[in-house]
Amino acid sequence: MSDGSARRGRAALAWALYLMPLPVLAAALFVGPSSQVRAGHVWQWLWSAAAGAGLSPDVNEFLVRSVTLNIRLPRALLTFLVGGALGASGAAMQSVFRNPLVSPYILGLSAAAAFGAALALATGWLPVQLAAFAFGLLAVGMSYFLARSGRSVSVVALVLSGIIVSGFFTALLTIVQFVADPFKLQTIVQWTMGNLHTANWDKVASSGPLILAGAAGMFLFRWRMNVLAMGDEETRAVGLNPEREKLNILVPATLAASAAVAAGGVIGLVGLVIPHMVRMMLGPDNSRSIPACFTFGGAFLLIVDTCSRAAASFEIPIGIFTTLIGSPFFIYLLKKSRIGWNL
């Protein structure tokens, strides 16, 4: 295949990934565990609203409208936003750290957000979403400033500080779980495995703008990620400050990932798996892979959530499914990459 044909094929595939969320979002409105609101009922209601056709006697218009607009639609939108944020921030983090085995949680974000949510659930002092978001940002800020030496921040120091901060907040989370009321403990544990079943329009309104703002920041700096991924010396050679560029990418990536975790709980391996899937299809160019990671990550998580809702009559935390799907892929990457860092 010629270079021109390969480029055209990747461009077409990129557009397919960009548009993929549209049919997936539409399909999510028709699927759910309720036997009283089936796909045929939703289709009849939509056709009735659009064309003025009548409904069959077995269709409860009020119930179908309420379930579709107030339960399924906000859940589908929030799931898409959470998956997109994790996918795009994972790709951005991998560019900053120049390592394919990095996820958005490497700087302690997930452990700190889980601690914040657990503290809010156990005490009721703060809204859960606000506490998780604030502690997620705090953890990344702590990791960055612990790793900073003078005006430079090395990748290895960032990783080590992330391990320290993550361990610290994990210990605090364990303390909260140990002293929490048994009834609240169940809610805390469920939150740490994914919390999309509590999706509503309030969560979409509060987390959506933050996720989109972070995604916009990553989109604006996607060209700089290509340079930064080559190394600090190469970044300086083209007239850019690598430390400033790292911060410019970490801030929007952290904003999007923190808002996603605050809204949907800790959902594992999406930020690791999605960037690799996209790069396998589109190549390493971040100008295409960053927006594709957002759209494909959202579509992927929405497909997993929709299938889990259709397969069971009760809620199973989505983090269980993403970990089961992502773990074999992670093992494959680990065996294939064999990445080593020079300390």
Is 54 contained in some domain?
no
Cβ(292)–Cβ(19) under 8 Å?
A: no
- pLDDT at residue 341, as a whole number: 43
Spell out a b/e string for 269-304, using b for 16 or more CB atoms within 10 Å of the CB, else e.
bbbbbbbbbbbebbeeebebbbbbbbbbbbbbbbbb
Q: How many domains does the chain have?
A: 1
Is 12 contained in some domain?
no
Angle, CA of 43, 45 and 50, to the nearest 5°: 95
CA–CA distance, 298 with 135 (Å, rounded to integer): 24
CA–CA distance, 87 with 278 (Å, rounded to integer): 10
Cβ(122)–Cβ(196) under 8 Å?
A: no
Mean pLDDT, each 10-residue run in order, the chain (343 residues): 71 92 92 75 77 69 85 95 97 90 92 96 91 96 90 86 96 95 90 89 95 96 88 85 90 96 92 92 90 97 89 79 86 66 40
What is the domain-level CATH number for residue 128? 1.10.3470.10
- pLDDT at residue 340, as a whole number: 47
- pLDDT at residue 125, as a whole number: 85
- pLDDT at residue 4, as a whole number: 67
Query: What DSSP string runs through 116-160?
Result: HHHHHHHH-SS-HHHHHHHHHHHHHHHHHHHHEETTEE-HHHHHH
For the entire predicted model, the pTM comes to 0.92
- pLDDT at residue 52, as a whole number: 66
Is 178 contained in some domain?
yes
Cβ(227)–Cβ(286) under 8 Å?
A: no
CA–CA distance, 169 with 185 (Å, rounded to integer): 17
For residue 151, what are the domain limits? 60-337
Is 9 contained in some domain?
no
Q: What is the CA radius of gyration of the chain?
A: 21
Is 42 contained in some domain?
no
Is 18 contained in some domain?
no
Using CB atoms within 10 A of its CB, is residue 249 exposed (0-12), middle (13-18) or buried (19+)?
Answer: buried
Which residues have C-beta within 8 Å of that of residue 280, sequence separation ≥ 6?
A: none
